[in-house]
Amino acid sequence: MLLDPSLRRAGLAALSALMLSTAPAVLLAETPPDTLVIADAIDDIVSLDPHEAYEFSGLDVVNNVYDGLVELDPAKPGEPIPGLAESWAVAEDGMTFTFKMKPGLTFSSGNPVTAEDAAFSLQRAVKLNKSPAFILNQFGWTAENVDSMVTAEGDTLTLKTDKVYAPTFLYNCLTAGVASIVDKATVMANEANGDMGNEWLKNNSAGTGAFVLKSFKPNDGYLLEARAGHWRGDAAVKSVFMRHVPEAATQRLLLEKGDIDVARELTPVDIEGMAGNADVKVQADVGGQIFYLAFNQKNENYKNAKFLEAMRWAVDYQGMADTFLKGNMVPHQAFLPKGYLGAMEDLPYSLDIEKAKALLAESGIAAPKVVLDVRNAADRMDMAQSIQNTFGQAGITVELNIGEGAEQLKRYRARQHDGTLQSWGPDYPDPHTNASAFAMNADNSDGASTGGLAYRNAYDPGELHAKTEAAVAEGDAAKRKAMYEEIQKTHRETSPFIVMFQIGYQSAMRSNVEGFYTGGAIDSAAYWLVTK
């Protein structure tokens, strides 16, 4: 619609008249039928280079634009399925892995996908040495040796590791974004100052994924366009448009009006407020973060098994999850989040004040007092107050030490806290990520500072350390799973950790949207299965 020249005298009256007369005509009330429009807070994106991206929003893009040798099934993640490799095998020595590439696949540039591209990609990730590179470094790969450890010949990619690891450990790590396969020719054609195309890949894509990155504006949004003839079959939508909308109330309004198809950052209050609106539906899923209490064993009280057990029975897990944490947290009582190999979903502990009191009496600790460090965030304060209340009923006085997150983290790392309420998110899609943090501590002496959680609580895991080391080298997947279950069981009964919750996510969407997978605790969002 053209501007009437007579309205050019831009007075307020003229402007508002223009507005009122033209607005309804220019508003496109609904999203385009072949486009999925999502609202999310995406200001965490650092880079869209798959070998650098290491944050939730960035990995969502990587997952849809690139593929790996092996992948997770978005509909039921947990077990690797073929990606760009059609088969793989491990040699007798347990240190040589071979991957046979699927024939006939192409990058979005039209170039064929070769084992050479795969080798280049893994080498590039190691050589760039950005945040997620450590996931690959775990196999003994360094910038110096990776060219000889990762090699290609014909249609076969060979990976050598520095010692024996569980094959599932390697496969799981290869499903991470950092192991995405990029188009060597295209990437190197866009190299500048020896950056292996890093600067270019921040805003462009060169992958085999179901979508191609069309545009990206930091703190604003991105646009993905579906590739025709993708090896998984064409995506149901032609494009995906992500809008950065940080405000939950704003997202809700957009969703209810139909201006977006999916809202990913709604609060439980918004979710509840939308109940009864037939145009929208809510999908609940879990994320990888777990919330736990930890106690510093420099305080002898926290070595007392009876006292630790008393505290485990003095937490109102279900009560919190049903009230103020509704939808935000799901009760969970082991260090591997649901979705991981070996994760335990049973909930042996529940609030039982009498039992806690009895155990406390048995412990022989009179009038115990816990100083609990809590970050000054609303949900954590609510949790801490509930714990203060139920611990109090059981005869354990809790004093809250509320402070800023980074400052508390400093105390935690320096083992200066007494008790603390914390969260932990896994780093890669393998159980070793959390197992090594919670159940390994090679050197418990002051100043060792391994960064692990066991160390931070001066907790010597004893035999669990060796068992965790054995689990990451176990070749048999079923046995490996059983080992993690055993480690977690012992851990939750003896360690000074009380795992309480796994984070929950609620995505709200228009009722016609189907097949939207958020990736759960392990993987990233998948857009190629979405229909609307």
Closest distance of CB 238 from another protein, Å: 11
In angstroms, the first-to-last Cα distance of the chain is 30
The residues, ordered by sequence, that sit 6+ positions from 123 with a Cβ below 8 Å of its Cβ are 146, 147, 150
Query: How far apart are CB 349 and another protein at their closest, in Å?
Result: 26
Report the residue number, 7 or 185, with the smaller CB distance to another protein: 7
Cβ contacts of 491 within 8 Å, gap of 6 or more = 334, 335, 438, 439, 461, 464, 497
457, 421 Cβ separation under 8 angstroms: no
Q: According to the binding rule CB under 8 A, does residue 449 interact with another protein?
A: yes
Q: Which 221-240 positions form the footprint of another protein (CB under 8 A)?
A: 221, 223, 239
Q: Is 23 in the site for another protein (CB under 8 A)?
A: yes
Q: CB nearer to another protein: give 88 or 216.
A: 216
Give 119 or 374: the residue with its C-beta nearer to another protein.
374
Q: Regarding beta strands 150-153 and 35-40, do their DSSP bridges make them parallel or antiparallel, or are they unpaired?
A: unpaired
Helix (H) or strand (E) holding 135: helix 134-137
Q: Which residues pair with 419 in a beta bridge?
A: 295, 372
Residue placing its CB nearer to another protein in the complex, 1 or 366: 1
Residue 189 engages another protein in binding (rule: CB under 8 A): no
d(CA 337, CA 287) in angstroms, rounded, equals 8
CA distances (Å), origin 43, targets 39, 55, 286, 428: 12, 10, 21, 22
Least Å from the CB of residue 252 to another protein: 10
What number of other Cβ atoms are within 10 A of residue 230's Cβ? 18
**Selected binder of another protein within 259, 285, 345, 382 (CB under 8 A):** 259
Burial of 222 (0-12, 13-18, 19+ CB in 10 A): buried
Q: In terms of CB distance, is 291 or 317 closer to another protein?
A: 291
The 10 Å CB-count burial string (b at 16+, else e) for 42-62 is beebebbbbbbbbbbbbbbbb
* Smallest separation (angstroms) from another protein to the CB of 375: 11
User: Of the two residues 215 and 416, which places its CB atom closer to another protein in the complex?
Assistant: 215
Q: Of 463, 459, 483, whose CA–CA distance to 473 is shortest?
A: 483
Q: What are phi and psi of 473, to 5 degrees?
A: -110, 0
Q: Which two tokens stand for residue 81?
A: 């399925």
How many residues sit in the footprint of another protein (CB under 8 A)?
A: 63
Could you say whether residue 17 binds another protein (CB under 8 A)? no
Q: Does 16 bind another protein (CB under 8 A)?
A: yes
**Closest of 380, 384, 469, 431 to residue 173, by C-alpha:** 431
Indicate the residue among 301 and 468 with the shorter CB distance to another protein. 468
Q: Identify the residue among 140, 218, 327, 395 touching another protein (CB under 8 A).
A: 218
Query: Which of positions 237-256 make contact with another protein (CB under 8 A)?
Result: 239, 241, 243-247, 249-250, 253-254, 256
**Residue span binding another protein (CB under 8 A) among the ranges 35-43, 75-83, 99-107, 481-489:** 35-43
The verdict on 219 binding another protein (CB under 8 A) reads yes
Least distance in Å: CB of 404 to another protein? 5
For β-strands 369-375 and 419-424, DSSP reports them as parallel
Among 37, 113, 383, 384, binds another protein (CB under 8 A): 37
Q: How far is the CB of 245 from another protein (least distance, A)?
A: 4
Among 22, 137, 289, 490, which residue interacts with another protein (rule: CB under 8 A)?
Answer: 22
Q: In this chain, which of 5, 6, 8, 24 binds another protein, going by CB under 8 A?
A: 24
- Determine the 3-state secondary structure of 288 from DSSP: strand
Dist. CA 38–CA 51, nearest whole Å: 24
- Smaller CB separation from another protein, 348 or 405: 405
- Considering only residues 348 to 407 of the shown chain, the ones binding another protein according to CB under 8 A are 403-407
- Residues 28, 75, 275, 366: which binds another protein (CB under 8 A)? 28
> Per rule CB under 8 A, is residue 410 in the interface with another protein?
yes
Residue closer to another protein (CB basis): 48 or 356: 48
- The smaller minimum CB distance to another protein, of residues 160 and 510, is found at 510
Q: Give, in degrees to the nearest 5, the angle at Cα 495 between 346 and 426.
A: 65
Contact letters for another protein, residues 38-77 (x by CB under 8 A): -x-x-xxxxx------------------------------
Taking the complex as a whole, how short is the minimal distance between the CB of residue 37 and another protein, in angstroms? 5
Residue 20 lies near another protein (rule: CB under 8 A) = yes
Query: Judged by CB under 8 A, does residue 31 bind another protein?
Result: yes
Closer residue to another protein in complex, CB, 202/480: 202
Handedness of CA 505, 506, 508, 512 (dihedral sign): positive
Angle, CA of 429, 163 and 480, to the nearest 5°: 45
Q: Under 8 Å CB-to-CB from 253, ≥6 apart: which residues?
A: none
In whole angstroms, what is the distance from residue 434 CA to residue 419 CA? 20
CA angle 67, 71, 75 (to 5 degrees): 110
Summarize as ranges the residues that interact with another protein (CB under 8 A): 1-3, 10-12, 15-16, 18-20, 22-24, 26-29, 31-32, 35, 37, 39, 41, 43-47, 214-215, 217-221, 223, 239, 241, 243-247, 249-250, 253-254, 256-257, 259-260, 403-407, 409-410, 427, 449-451
